[in-house]
Chain A
Amino acid sequence: MSEVSGAIRTADEFEPNKATAMENTKISADKVQVYYGDTHAIKDVSINIRAQTVTAFIGPSGCGKSTFLRCLNRMNDTIDICRVEGRIAIDDEDIYDPKVDPVQLRAKVGMVFQKPNPFPKSIYDNVSYGPRIHGLVRRKSELDDIVASSLQKAGLWEEVKDRLDSPGTGLSGGQQQRLCIARAIAVSPEVILMDEPCSALDPIATAKVEELIDELRENYTIVIVTHSMQQAARVSQRTAFFHLGNLVEVGDTQDIFTNPRDKRTQDYITGRFG
């Protein structure tokens, strides 16, 4: 374990312009442990996630990618047996501090799930759900604007602008997932977490969502969990490789894929396990 964190620290030290990298840090996790009852699911993970960057979490299934992702917006709080230790800070503010309301945190750190999960409501109501709850608007026209701009940013506007009143569950899988992204964008988050957002989609829908992720990078910090290494290579600038609850290696996506430092990373990337 110590060997692993050592590897990360060395990775940071070899960073060419470390100063700018640190400046850009949006989320920093330090020695995070997660337990499900007696199961130690995340072991001593420390990582810095940069702003306006897409960071990909890769690793064999069951290695704790989702678990760690869910720590970043405290979704793990909703699981009774889950316990998180260590420090996670967003903009240098500890999100596990008792002062922090997890509900408000989740407005700042949006989440998109593996399976598209639009509410059984109209497309309009799906997108306006967040702004309404958080009281972000005073007039109906403002709400209309937010809905329209969120759908536009999610690249769904052209397809649904004539049927905002029809149910969100009636869209195709890819459209549903983009609706969920629009829904997350509508609350103006700073970070968007995506847990295998394309695993339930066909290749064409996947390409659209990937394109969208690339566009969103300009305004948001994005963390994406993915099973597919091609996807990680296509959409992310930084990649973190998890294995059995450990963070094995983190670095520029290019480096990780062309020049992995750790044997396990290499084995995974070359398809020897996973």
Chain B
Amino acid sequence: MALSFLLLTILVVAGLAYVLAKSRAFKSAGGDIRLLHSLPGYYGWNGALTVLLPTFLALLLWLAIQPVVVDHTVSGMISAESAAESTLGLVMSDVRRIADGLDLAVQNGVLTAQDASRLNTGSSDIRETLGAVGVALGAEVTAEKLEAAQTYRSATATGFWMRTVLVLLVALGGLAVSYRRTDKDFRARNFVEQVVKGILVFAALLAILTTVGIIFSLIFNTVEFFSLYPAEDFFFGLVWSPSFGGGSELGILPLIWATLYISLIALAVAVPVGLFAAIYLSEYASPTVRAVAKPLLEVLAGIPTIVYGLFALLTVGPLLVDIFGNDGALGVGWMQGGTAVMTAGLVMGIMLIPFVSSLSDDIINAVPQAMRDGSLGLGATHSETVKQVIMPAALPGIVGAILLAASRAIGETMIVVLGAGAAARLSMNPFDAMTTVTAKIVSQLTGDADFASPEALVAFALGMTLFVITLGLNIFALYIVRKYREQYD
């Protein structure tokens, strides 16, 4: 039975369990709902869940275990010589391809099921037959591989049958158990609520485990990198020049420098503009203006960063060259090309404006009205109140918002790739092209490099460094924001 059909069957059984359990509960109370411990729907759900949960568990286990068992059986049939020629893994993947190819041939009607299972190397050219259904085989099909493939097919087919039977048995068992258990005193509501809670816990756990998994993969690859490349050269090296032939210099400092430089320019743009916008919106704007402007600003936050990148490449870069370039309006000749730290920084700053302003706006609004009244009641003007009471009260929260914005700036990639250039450089001139940690992670991993070389693995060390920096910033920001919240509770 195909998997989709099996799933459908399970759902039908679960539906049946729902209906049966509900009606039985109803009957056990003699038709009087008030005598039931829980509402009838809970008994129904209890029935459906008692079917679904064990069944899915069994199915998942089976799906995980069957390939392992089949592989183990089949790989026992491969002789030591053929395994020695290449590797066992390669032979096994050949076997699987042959098996899959035969299945496909049967499905397409090129072979009958009987022909397929009686096929042997002498009687026909298997490679050709399979090529006709679109399965290309690299090596000649040996008798040994063919035999293994046939075993593989039959074992898999048996597995499928057993799976179907097992799953259906579990489903029916669940149905029976839930049906017998249903009674007017059974605490169906509690059971259902437990299950729902379990699902919530599972979802939360999944998110956490994924994060942990990502961190571990970063750590392992970073450790791997440091076994190939000295850590002090990485952290203190002033030159970044990877060459895939070997002899690369992989110093992170130029990248960190550019990252911080661009972030600094971005914050220099975003913080004043965002903050002033937030002050205007929360303190001075009329409700009508606010109702229009706030969503507009938030739309700005939803623009994909690649669009900002294009804006940097096509508009801001050329504009800056027109002003600061060799033949520019100022005639200073500071800027050689459109891509520069300044270009990326300015555009990133624009990207961060809504981020800063919307966070700051929330924080300013959280300052209690009582503070404003207190100040106004002493004869302070509105602007004195903003400057001397509201801003100081909101400052820790705003600092938190700025730190969050900084960690976004540090992690930003697309704007940098398109706006800042690709050359790693340690320079003070903001009109020079430079490149950042994130941009280099992309270029190191998208090249043709062998994945085990330090030139590729360095991406993980870069990622790890970035991760530690932004994590630190975020924790610090959250700490400050939280500390600030306590003040008014």
The 6 nearest A-B residue pairs measured at CB:
A107-B379, A111-B377, A117-B370, A106-B379, A117-B374, A130-B378
Interface string of B370-401 (1 = CB under 8 A from A): 11111111111100100011001100000000
Task: Please name all residues of chain B whose beta carbon is closer than 8 Å to the beta carbon of A107 when the two chains form the complex.
Answer: 378-379
Give CA–CA (A134, B381) in the complex, Å.
Answer: 10
Kindly list chain B residues whose C-beta atoms are within 8 Å of the C-beta of A106: 376-379
Given A78-B376, A105-B379, 9 extra CB contacts under 8 A: A75-B377, A103-B381, A106-B378, A108-B379, A113-B370, A119-B374, A119-B393, A120-B392, A133-B378
> Given A120-B393, A120-B487, A129-B388, is A115 in contact with B376 using a C-beta cutoff of 8 Å?
no
For the complex, give the distance between the alpha carbons of A130 and B388 in Å.
Answer: 11
The interface centre, meaning the residue of A103, A120, A121, A180 with most chain B CB atoms within 10 A of its CB, is A120
Bound-complex Cα distance A183 to B378 (A): 8
- Complex-state Cα separation, A180 to B371, whole angstroms: 11
| Closest chain A residue to B381, Cβ basis | A103
A169 an interface residue at 8 Å Cβ cutoff?
Answer: yes
Q: Chain A, 74-95, contact with B by CB distance < 8 Å: what is the 0/1 string? A: 0100101000000000000000
CB < 8 Å: which of A80, A130, A169 contacts B379? Answer: A130
Prevailing SS type, chain B contact patch: helix
Q: CA of A129 to CA of B376 in the docked complex: distance in angstroms?
A: 11
A183 to B375, CA, bound (A): 10
Please count the residue pairs between chain A and chain B whose beta carbons lie under 8 angstroms apart in the complex.
69
Chain B residues engaging chain A, CB cutoff 8 angstroms = 287, 368, 370-381, 384, 388-389, 392-393, 487
CB distance from A67 to the nearest CB of B (A): 14
Flag if A133 contacts B370 (CB, 8 Å): no
Q: Which chain B positions have C-beta within 8 A of A134?
A: 379
**CB nearest to B379 among chain A residues:** A107
A66 → B minimal CB distance (Å): 11
Q: Chain B residue with minimal CB distance to A119?
A: B389
Cβ A187 vs Cβ B379 within 8 A? yes
**A146 vs chain B, min Cβ distance (A):** 13
Q: Which of B368, B379, B392 has the most CB of A within 10 A?
A: B379
Docked-complex contact B377 and A119, CB < 8 angstroms: no
**Option from A108, A110, A115, A129 in Cβ contact (under 8 Å) with B375:** A129
Q: How far is the CA of A107 from the CA of B384 in the complex (A)?
A: 14
Q: Which residue from chain B places its CB closest to the CB of A111 in the assembled complex? A: B377
State whether the Cβ of A73 lies closer than 8 Å to any Cβ in chain B: yes
Residues on A with C-beta less than 8 A from B379 are: 103-108, 130, 133-134, 187
Question: In the complex, what residues of B have CB within 8 A of residue A105's CB?
Answer: 379
Q: Does A184 contact B (CB under 8 A)?
A: yes
Chain B residues with CB under 8 Å of A80's CB are 287
Q: Is B389 a contact of A117 with CB atoms below 8 Å?
A: no
Residues of B within 8 A of A111 (CB): 373, 377-378
For A, the interface residue count at a CB cutoff of 8 angstroms equals: 28
Of the listed residues A111, A117, A187, the one surrounded by the most CB atoms of chain B closer than 10 A to its CB is A117
Q: Which of B287, B375, B376, B381 contacts A119 (CB 8 A)?
A: B375
Smallest beta-carbon distance B399→chain A, Å: 14
Q: In the assembled complex, how far is the CB of residue A150 from the closest CB belonging to chain B, in whole angstroms? A: 12
Q: Which of B377, B384, B392 contacts A113 (CB 8 A)?
A: B377
Interface string of A183-210 (1 = CB under 8 A from B): 1100100000000000000000000000
Q: Which residues of A contact B388 (CB under 8 A)?
A: 129, 133
Q: Which residue of A lies closest to B380 (CB)?
A: A133
- Cβ–Cβ < 8 Å partners of B377 in chain A: 73, 75, 106, 110-111, 113, 184
A273 to chain B minimum Cβ distance, whole angstroms, is: 29
- Bound-state CA distance A111–B368 (Å) is 17
CA distance A133 to B381 in the complex (A): 9
- With CB as the reference atom, state the residue of chain A lying closest to B378: A130
Q: Mark A118-133, 1 if CB is under 8 A from B, else 0.
A: 1111000000011001
Separation of A135 and B95 alpha carbons in the complex (Å): 91
Closest to A121 in B: B392
CB neighbours of A183 from chain B (8 A): 374, 378
Interface centre among B374, B375, B389, by most A CB within 10 Å? B374
For A118, list chain B residues within 8 Å (CB). 374
Docked-complex contact A184 and B378, CB < 8 angstroms: yes
Nearest CB to that of B368 among chain A residues?
A117
Pairwise interchain contact A117-B371, C-beta atoms closer than 8 A: yes
Residues of chain A contacted by B376 (CB below 8 angstroms): 75, 78, 106
| 8 Å CB contact of A129 from B368, B370, B372, B378 | B378
A108 to B379, CA, bound (A): 8
Residues of B within 8 A of A108 (CB): 379
Min C-beta distance of A129 to chain B, whole Å = 6
B486: shortest Cβ distance to chain A, in Å? Answer: 10
State the CA gap A134–B380 with chains docked (Å): 8
